[in-house]
Structure 1
């Protein structure tokens, strides 16, 4: 033996090893403790995640005829990319349909009821195949494991996978197999960011999940494996889903879940399938955005917790027709500066909104993204009917009163046409949309009273003092929105009862409120529907006249920035706005010349009125009132033209007792003697003193006594100058030239002989 080979010392072989039994036992205990701690931690974490949690069910909105309108999803982020997205679905299932359950389990978890949430046999089989087979790896996720994954983060490590398995066990242990399967069917992805089989059944097949055929159930069961690739609205995706559905049917037939005839029928149905309809929102995207807002505010309610459909009041066929008309008429008015349009149509009586066009096109670069039904703009003269209605309501105005449309007392307010028509009945003043009578009436009733009344009608929500707007409230200084005007005009049409606009059939609406008496509402409606009363400001047979009864009011804001028309028939209420997104001025585009034409086209379309057809209908008169004929103030001495007015019986009796016999009119105040001008005398020459202040260069106008108290209209050169009592002296600021002065009765046949003078 070589001498340089070391040999162990005999004692060394008997020394204790540092890696002996005690150390091994310690290691074993450490491993055991770690294992137990890990199991305890996994159990604790799994039990903490064992509750079944799902996002809130999203709604699908259908129009009144059942056509798809939009979906209202939940904003979230893609777990893989972190990018924002919107998810839909998550509809709960009361009871699991047998066909859906069998088709889903045939593809996803055949031994679902035979394991506690983790299928050990499937795990071993998948592990062996993944080790021995090249190509696509096989998974072994059970239904419960997929629920655990869909409720939490996607696993990225072995620990995550263990946590998913532990959570799956806890989910089944706590909730049972049926609830776990139902929850999977609520969370599983079915393509196009939709989740849940109940939502998918509605979205793809427009039917409840209980009504799915075997072929449809198998097709939907195929999608969750790869919802992006199996997009059934595309040919390629549908082919993949159909192939997987056929595989499910084969398994079901093998298991005896369906017989050969049922399987053959299902295969034929799959063979006939074409790419499913990809539901599209309407072109008027504002409509979809409105319903999303209503749903988030709780004002558009689903049918039930188990059926999150929203049945809208909108009629998409009407919506498309109105949108087409709006674009066509806007195109015609673009040359005069109009850039945007908004139209609403409401069903009279129900207040159901059947068309809601917020702009010409959401993508229109001319402020198309703004919904102009909800933008506050100057309403022009569209508030005037409510000023008259409040005056009637408070007893401060009678149908037979006279309102002055004259420069005197106009407070700097003029009329759109630059003219003054003299004394007018309320019917004429409102129908002609005269500014001076409206502002004077507003002042008479009170700024605060009108401001508060308009707020009660929902036309504004301002808390500023009424004085900050003044009498200009009557002519457009108080901004409002088209949808608010629609609700207010619906109140007029509904005999003074205010109701919310109804955007769905099961809206959360407030209780109706009476804002006006039937008498005031119907009286104002009759004035807005009287084409004869609109003369001379609005010509006959223009856009304000219809072949059926319509009450209409136009409005034009200062600087021609906004053109409006509100009109209602027995069936519908239509509101139109035209203008610019930048609130710039148009080129003298008035409400009657633009918005009224679009409103006319819309109402005629809605009524399906044929050319030449005239419906012999009128609005119901105010109850308890009687009809009388009044002479127009411009009718001449022979009362060639009259206006039909509705008066209270006592007013009619008073008019009859004060009026001389006349075949065509009952008058409120008539003179019993001919009118004679006392001053100035006929053919008089008068010299002005140019050195005197203007207030002293006036000419007194006075009648000879006629023995009764009545109103007189003084005209200068045929134009109205002032109204006064018969015994009152009126002073006219003289202007050089030849002039013709005449006095006439305000609402009766009778006028003085003209007096001619010359002012030097």
Structure 2
């Protein structure tokens, strides 16, 4: 052998060793079973499809989302037999590469002059699906080597299960367990021979055999019939099974593809929660996640919110958000983030999580904390009078004078709330709201000042929902529950049960809301409801938070640009929305009265108090309210610390008189007019002038108005008595009596 020959041989052997090394390295790098994590399907609490969350991948054609990869353990016998009969008949005999199939493929390819058979075994397909590459001879060789190592390392049963986890079924679906649920809505264990044949037809050309399109379904059925014939020829199925499966396959129509409901904000919220918090006990063979959402409720509140928003658009409202949760458990039944994600102004923002000014919705927590700490008594008199020190007035520009805490909170008076915060201390109030989860601000409390009591401290609707849930549940706070298996903190007491129940009593008393909120309007219900409205400065946000025996709801209305609306307050826009939602949830109409009440604090008893002094009613004090106080512990009432020195020496009470109707009138309704047009104008005369008067009809409050405002009363047959009164003062007109026929 010449020197040149020896050198060539050495170079050839070196190259071969190097090539073998590269080959071995590539095989070793690929010879592990790999699969993306199983992707979940989300359903509502009743099992209805909500969405599925997949793995997003960047491709030359754009981003693509892949689903499935559910584990198959154990592999159902029918699925195993069909898979091996169609894909790898000698699976249990060969070591990962089938020499007989290789020789047959080589012969077919050489004799035809083109590639007709790839001789890929199931193990080789696993190698290719895990790391796809060009269909070159080198890659085929690497796949073959990888298949040999995978078979030796993991065994054939694991390889079969892994193949059934990875194989594509079109429409982004991977793995037969996911495909069975996605296309046929059943577990893989329950697949019939006809259904197995249909699914087995898809992987060869998923786009061509897409069962969601008529032509694709026809092709898949035709290929499935050939698969059944092959299974029968091989003896995998009996003649009787073949006959039944063939007939079933011919008429098989998968149910409609599950469609995500129009609740994109909700889906994005759930995806974010799952990514951030994970899930306990997720089954990798069937990773369906049952959420707490009720899609029926979601659809209802969406329709109600859009209809209500349409009525307010002419006054500048652009967006709306609503949340509903079960009071006892904190389960979120519905969450509407906006009126429309892509087709409304600012619709892409999720307003259940946007930081906004809460208006007066924080007041109940200040009252609850003050009651719990002994800084406020339920029989204490607070003063709603002008206060130059804070420069804060009331939204209506009026002042109602001395009043009980029940009235001050139910009427949402700003001045008493500001003075209560001053009494508590800015920092103490700021930290109390932090402890309730209403903010995460690290700024000093004086950055917000006393206006923190009326909305300068921003928060979000979902935070308000959790905090109001604590008020509604004896001071016990729970995390909002969105889905089964969600990691949740242990419920914890953030307020005493006594303070929470006291505030609930304040907020559920329609009589205590007078005169700011007239009876039988948007804040009144035929069953017990505690509620608080809120309006931010400049009418930028309108809120209503409410709870009944069964539900807690939150409603918000506003603008995407944080601009002002035309006097859309919480008691107008948001309260009407909340009322419509709660009535729908309870299946009631506004006039269907229902008995019931919220529980009173344990060890407390009812007592009638004079509304202006807080003293027990002696029959001489004028307006009264029923308050609950510790049994046998009634203490003398005291004026609040902001009482002005001249309070006791105010000018004499105004004189009130009724101009219309005339006393002892007898009136007739026009039978040709619709009932809503048979109205009687009510007119008053007051000297000297006052900001507000209350019209009483038959002893019940009917309307709050300015003295020069004409009020219209719907005429009803019978004898009636009219009277004018000042809000929370023992000043009234002489009664006027009429008869309507």
Q: TM-score, normalised by structure 2?
A: 0.84
The aligned counterpart of 1:647 is 629
Q: Is the 8 A contact 1:301 1:310 kept in 2?
A: no
**SS at 2:554's partner residue?**
strand
The aligned counterpart of 1:12 is none
Task: Quote the Cα distance in structure 2 between the aligned partners of 1:747 and 1:579.
Answer: 31
The aligned counterpart of 1:743 is none
C-alpha displacement of 1:303: 3.1
Q: Write the deviation string for residues 602-621 of structure 1: whole angstroms up to 9, x where unpaired.
A: 01101111464211010011
**SS at 1:190's partner residue?**
strand
Task: Quote the Cα distance in structure 1 between the aligned partners of 2:63 and 2:584.
Answer: 43
Q: Is the 8 A contact 1:291 1:300 kept in 2?
A: no
Q: Write the deviation string for residues 663-721 of structure 1: whole angstroms up to 9, x where unpaired.
A: xxxxx479xxxxxxxxxxxxxxxxxxxxxxxxxxxx996xxxxxxxxx947356649xx
Match of 2:282 among 284, 303, 316: 303
Task: Quote the Cα distance in structure 2 between the aligned partners of 1:82 and 1:749.
Answer: 75
Q: How large is the Cα RMSD of the aligned pairs? A: 2.8
Task: Quote the Cα distance in structure 2 between the aligned partners of 1:256 and 1:639.
Answer: 98
The aligned counterpart of 1:173 is 152
In structure 2, relative to structure 1, the CA distance for the partners of 1:715 and 1:540 (3 Å cut) is farther
Task: Quote the Cα distance in structure 1 between the aligned partners of 2:589 and 2:730.
Answer: 44
Q: Write the deviation string for residues 18-46 of structure 1: whole angstroms up to 9, x where unpaired.
A: xx788667756755554455345423431
Task: Quote the Cα distance in structure 2 between the aligned partners of 1:168 and 1:208.
Answer: 29
Q: Write the deviation string for residues 112-164 of structure 1: whole angstroms up to 9, x where unpaired.
A: 22222222222332333333347883332221111111111322432222112
In structure 2, relative to structure 1, the CA distance for the partners of 1:607 and 1:453 (3 Å cut) is same
C-alpha displacement of 1:642: 2.1
C-alpha displacement of 1:497: 0.4
Task: Quote the Cα distance in structure 2 between the aligned partners of 1:700 and 1:63.
Answer: 61
C-alpha displacement of 1:342: 0.5
Q: How do 1:127-166 residues align onto structure 2 when only pairs under 5 Å count?
A: 127-133=106-112, 137-166=116-145
Q: Which deviates more, 637-646 or 178-187?
A: 637-646
The aligned counterpart of 1:7 is none
Q: Does residue 499 of structure 1 match 2:478?
A: yes
Q: Does residue 604 of structure 1 match 2:583?
A: yes
Match of 1:349 among 328, 350, 370: 328
Q: Write the deviation string for residues 241-294 of structure 1: whole angstroms up to 9, x where unpaired.
A: 222222222222222222222222222222222254222211111111111101
Q: Does residue 208 of structure 1 match 2:190?
A: no
Task: Quote the Cα distance in structure 1 between the aligned partners of 2:649 and 2:357.
Answer: 34
Task: Quote the Cα distance in structure 1 between the aligned partners of 2:689 and 2:489.
Answer: 61
Task: Quote the Cα distance in structure 1 between the aligned partners of 2:589 and 2:382.
Answer: 39
C-alpha displacement of 1:82: 5.8
Task: Quote the Cα distance in structure 1 between the aligned partners of 2:409 and 2:452.
Answer: 15
The aligned counterpart of 1:453 is 432
Q: Which deviates more, 37-46 or 536-545?
A: 37-46
Task: Quote the Cα distance in structure 1 between the aligned partners of 2:729 and 2:319.
Answer: 48
Return structure 1 stretches of 4+ with deviation > 6 angstroms.
20-26, 634-637, 737-740, 746-751
**SS at 2:628's partner residue?**
strand
C-alpha displacement of 1:106: 2.4
Q: Is the 8 A contact 2:82 2:236 kept in 1?
A: no
Match of 2:41 among 36, 60, 63: 60
The aligned counterpart of 1:274 is 253
C-alpha displacement of 1:600: 0.5
Q: Is the 8 A contact 1:632 1:747 kept in 2?
A: no
Q: Is the 8 A contact 1:235 1:275 kept in 2?
A: no
C-alpha displacement of 1:507: 1.4
C-alpha displacement of 1:633: 3.0
Task: Quote the Cα distance in structure 1 between the aligned partners of 2:652 and 2:289.
Answer: 65
Q: Is the 8 A contact 2:534 2:543 kept in 1?
A: yes
The aligned counterpart of 1:14 is none
Q: Is the 8 A contact 1:330 1:341 kept in 2?
A: yes
Q: How do 1:707-746 residues align onto structure 2 when only pairs under 5 Å count?
A: 712=648, 714-715=650-651, 718=654
Match of 2:497 among 513, 518, 540: 518
Task: Quote the Cα distance in structure 2 between the aligned partners of 1:293 and 1:647.
Answer: 46
In structure 2, relative to structure 1, the CA distance for the partners of 1:135 and 1:40 (3 Å cut) is closer
Structure 1: any 5+ residue segments left out of the alignment?
1-19, 656-667, 671-698, 702-710, 720-736, 741-745, 752-760
Q: How do 1:316-715 residues align onto structure 2 when only pairs under 5 Å count?
A: 316-408=295-387, 411-610=390-589, 612-633=591-612, 638-652=620-634, 654=635, 668=637, 712=648, 714-715=650-651
Q: Is the 8 A contact 2:411 2:513 kept in 1?
A: yes
Match of 2:58 among 54, 67, 77: 77
The aligned counterpart of 1:684 is none
Structure 2: any 5+ residue segments left out of the alignment?
656-686, 691-725, 732-741
Task: Quote the Cα distance in structure 2 between the aligned partners of 1:630 and 1:376.
Answer: 40
Q: Is the 8 A contact 1:130 1:138 kept in 2?
A: yes
Task: Quote the Cα distance in structure 2 between the aligned partners of 1:111 and 1:715.
Answer: 106
Task: Quote the Cα distance in structure 1 between the aligned partners of 2:504 and 2:439.
Answer: 22
- Bigger radius of gyration, 1 or 2? 1
